[in-house]
Amino acid sequence: MNRTLGAFLLSALCALTATTTLAQQPVRIGIVTFLSGPAAGAFGVPARNGFELVTELLNAGNVPAPYNTKGLGGRPIELVVIDEAGGPQKQVAELRNLAQRVDYVIGYISSGDCLAVAPVAEELKKLTVLFDCGTPRIFEDASYKYVFRTGPSGTMDNVAAALYVAERHPKVKSIAGINQNYAWGQDSWTDFELAIKALKPGIEVKTSQMTKLMAGQFGAEISTLLSSGADLIHSSFWGGDLEGLVLQGAPRGLFQKHVIVLSAGEPAINRLGTRIPDGTIIGARGPFGPFAPDNEFNRWFRSAFQDRYGLPPIYAAYKATNALLGLKAAYEKAQKAGAATPNQEQIIAAFEHLTFEGVGGTVRMTLGKGHQAVMENAIGTAKNMGGELKMVDIKRYPAEQVNPPEGVKSDAWIKSGFKK
Amino acid sequence: MSNLAGVVFDGVVYSSWLFLMAAGLTLIYGVMRILNIAHGSLYALGAYTAATLAGAWLAAGQAAVGTYAMLAVAALLVGLVMGPLLERGLLKWMYGKDEIVLLLITYAAFLVLEDVIKLLWGVESKMIAEPYALPGNFQIGTLAYPVYNLILIAVAIFTGLALAWALYRTQRGKLLLAVIHDREISAAMGINVDRVYLVTFTVGSMLAALGGALTAPAIAVSPGIGVEVIVLSFAVVVVGGLGSLGGAALGALMVGIVRSFAVRYWPEAELFTIYFVMAIVLIVRPKGLFSAPEARKI
């Protein structure tokens, strides 16, 4: 009897020690973001900065409530950062390696990479949080258990832009586009074209310029846009291409003669400042950067980021932070449900349909069977105020107004005239 | 009519930029039989150095007009440092190897230099727009064009003429042409082929850096700008005939103008048209428009 009791006590002690040890073991999170190539400076490195800063602050317990518990439910977070450059095939191979070294994965800026890695994450049964890529096809064309996306899909960027144009520039009768010739640019233009046609039937499309990624020089394209006679020009350019378009287009009067929509223009605000002419319509792919709500949580994030890196955070840093906070919220929700050190299945169950407070506002995992986030969106107009570029005339759109309902594909929803 | 003039002008501007790159590439190939992929990195280095020097010039409170001198200094500096460094430090040890091996070596140099650029300048883009905006605009019909484009065209024409003069009208140029024609015989006749190689590679590097330095004011100088350029330059050089300066000029003009017309009237086919021109030329003349007839060695 005594022997049985002794064995029981010993095993109970072992189990307790194991649980305590596990509870103190670091959580290893694989981070995938561009560290080289053209997207590194534009998004990849600001996103990595967001991940690193917030991880450090979470580990120290220095993030405001409701995230003021240390690390992930008390366990310190360790990041393993890898480069997203190299294309989808390379990323699939990288994910297979990374999955063996980490507990969870957060990453991916490129839509091509997201589309490629999502089925692989599912096959590997590795909880993977996509944080930035825009294509709505991830959860509209497939269903995943292990994949989540805490960043809103790209659909709302251009739907909000079209709504803004229809409201603020009702006299626009013709449009033209200049976008990069790959999935991102093509999808953005298609969404904008469909949305503006749904809002303003009969609007004329003058030209659609599709340039090679990182073409850099747009002399002929700018001439074509200038002579197209279009009232409005839409561009989803980013990085060096966006900066090049402004540097080359502004002196030639492109921004003065047309209403210009830069649907992903927010990162350029810090880079170009007042070189972006007044009146340019700018989006941030969500309520981020200058479009983030002026609340305590956002002020805390902006100030912490600015203090560390000397620049305000761009939307990629916001979305990186939201992915970490989403995972933390899911982990701790699973803990509250009774699991001291929740396993992956318990975290997934907690993550599905989760609503959590992000740095740009409330994030609701309502689409893709609870795996795809929606947020409100905001668009504004650039104005030089005392030598500093500010966003004015900011209009906020509720998430339901700029995202399709659950189970409806984005393009079909836009074509239907945004039917709910 | 003014529309057409605008399209042609856009094409000529693009051609000028292409020619500056292609001229160096074709010169190096003509003399050394090296398809220099690292040419793209030299272009990028020229752009970064120009942005840095011109930025420092303005930061020092100097007159904006001096930034043009900084662009030229950047091209000279990159050419004079990187040319000999790559040729003496790397390529010299590889001569005599297969052309493919040399191509792979320059590709390796390209990858290393891309990382060196990242190490030196980081991943953030650099901008130096003052030289682009400073001279103002001029009109073709209803369209405004930057005067800076005229400077680019003038530099390309001057460079082409200077190179042609140096090659065909000077003694050293004729020695170089002899090396192009037959390296072994030239060496046997007492021409210092090693020195010709060094000078050629340095001049070629300088041209690449000049292309980058002159482009820097119009773009955001960012990682990866050398990749796009090298692909297009190869297309131009292949159209014109590898090793031919006149071919590079004509190839650049053809590609630039065809692209400009495509952008205006058939934008979906812009990229296709560049390589369509290349394909047509290669079908008709497999070695390019200006390729010299090759003597068969027995």
pLDDT digits 0-9 by tens, B87-124:
999 999 998 889 899 999 999 999 999 999 999 999 88
Average pLDDT of the residues in A3-28: 61
Q: Which residues contact B197 (CB under 8 A, 6 or more apart)?
A: B31, B32, B87, B91, B92, B95
> Would residue A410 count as lying in a domain?
yes
Is B198 within 8 Å of chain A by CB? Answer: no
At B123 the pLDDT is 87
| CATH, residue A401 | 3.40.50.2300
Contact between A37 and B218 using a beta-carbon 8 Å cutoff: no
User: Looking at the structure, do residues A115 and A232 belong to the same domain, yes or no?
Assistant: no
Average pLDDT of the residues in B165-172: 92
User: Looking at the structure, do residues A41 and A99 belong to the same domain, yes or no?
Assistant: yes
At A263 the pLDDT is 96
> Would residue A16 count as lying in a domain?
no
User: Looking at the structure, do residues A52 and A128 belong to the same domain, yes or no?
Assistant: yes
User: What are chain B's domains?
Assistant: 2-284 (1.10.3470)
> Would residue A222 count as lying in a domain?
yes
Mean pLDDT of chain B: 92
Our count of domains for chain A comes to: 2
User: Looking at the structure, do residues A344 and A251 belong to the same domain, yes or no?
Assistant: no
The pLDDT tens digits for A338-354 are: 888 999 999 999 999 99
At A6 the pLDDT is 58
pLDDT at A325 over 60: yes
At B293 the pLDDT is 63
The pLDDT tens digits for A55-92 are: 999 999 999 999 999 999 999 999 999 999 989 999 99
> Would residue A4 count as lying in a domain?
no
Range of the domain at A195: 155-284+376-415
Dihedral sign from CA coordinates of A170, A176, A181, A187: positive
Q: Global pTM?
A: 0.90
pLDDT at A18 over 70: no
pLDDT band (50, 70, 90) for residue A9? low
> Would residue A3 count as lying in a domain?
no
Of residues A211, A214, A253, nearest to B224 (C-beta): A214
Q: Which residues contact B105 (CB under 8 A, 6 or more apart)?
A: B90, B91, B94
> Would residue A396 count as lying in a domain?
yes
Average pLDDT of the residues in B179-201: 89
The pLDDT tens digits for B209-242 are: 999 999 999 999 998 899 888 989 999 999 999 8
Contact between A253 and B144 using a beta-carbon 8 Å cutoff: yes
Dihedral sign from CA coordinates of B225, B228, B230, B233: negative
At A92 the pLDDT is 97
Contact between A45 and B13 using a beta-carbon 8 Å cutoff: no
How far is A12 from B162, CA to CA, in rounded Å?
A: 88
A281-283 and A377-385: which strand pairing? Answer: antiparallel
From B72-86, B98-112, B175-189, the region with the lowest mean pLDDT: B175-189
Average pLDDT of the residues in B63-67: 95
How far is B257 from B30, CA to CA, in rounded Å?
A: 25
User: Looking at the structure, do residues A254 and A388 belong to the same domain, yes or no?
Assistant: yes
Average pLDDT of the residues in A280-296: 95
Question: Do B50 and B206 form a contact (C-beta atoms < 8 A)?
Answer: no
C-alpha dihedral (B206, B212, B215, B218), degrees to nearest 10? -140
Of residues A208, A214, A220, nearest to B260 (C-beta): A220
Contact between A224 and B267 using a beta-carbon 8 Å cutoff: yes
Q: Which of residues 108-167 of B touch A (CB under 8 A)?
A: 115, 118, 122-125, 127, 129, 132-133, 137, 142-146, 149
Residue B115 with chain A: CB contacts under 8 Å: 36
pLDDT at A8 over 80: no
User: Looking at the structure, do residues A60 and A114 belong to the same domain, yes or no?
Assistant: yes
Average pLDDT of the residues in B244-252: 93
User: Looking at the structure, do residues A213 and A361 belong to the same domain, yes or no?
Assistant: no
User: Looking at the structure, do residues A126 and A246 belong to the same domain, yes or no?
Assistant: no
User: Looking at the structure, do residues A106 and A166 belong to the same domain, yes or no?
Assistant: no
Say whether A165 sits in a helix, a strand or coil.
Answer: helix
pLDDT band (50, 70, 90) for residue A1? very low
Contact between B218 and A240 using a beta-carbon 8 Å cutoff: no
Contact between A239 and B220 using a beta-carbon 8 Å cutoff: yes
Which class for B127: exposed (0-12), middle (13-18), buried (19 or more C-beta within 10 A)?
Answer: buried
Of residues B13, B122, B220, nearest to A244 (C-beta): B220
Q: Which residues contact B55 (CB under 8 A, 6 or more apart)?
A: B126, B128
Of residues B7, B220, B264, nearest to A243 (C-beta): B220
- Amino acid making up residue A157: D
- Amino acid making up residue B13: V
Identify the CA nearest to A313 among candidates A53, A63, A105, A32.
A53
Question: Do A138 and A149 form a contact (C-beta atoms < 8 A)?
Answer: yes
User: Looking at the structure, do residues A229 and A267 belong to the same domain, yes or no?
Assistant: yes
User: Looking at the structure, do residues A165 and A146 belong to the same domain, yes or no?
Assistant: no
pLDDT at A105 over 90: yes
Q: Which residue has the higher pLDDT, A184 or B44?
A: B44
At B295 the pLDDT is 60
User: Looking at the structure, do residues A30 and A75 belong to the same domain, yes or no?
Assistant: yes
Contact between B219 and A217 using a beta-carbon 8 Å cutoff: yes
Which class for A13: exposed (0-12), middle (13-18), buried (19 or more C-beta within 10 A)?
Answer: exposed
In angstroms, what CA-CA distances link A348 with A114, A330, A372?
A: 19, 7, 13
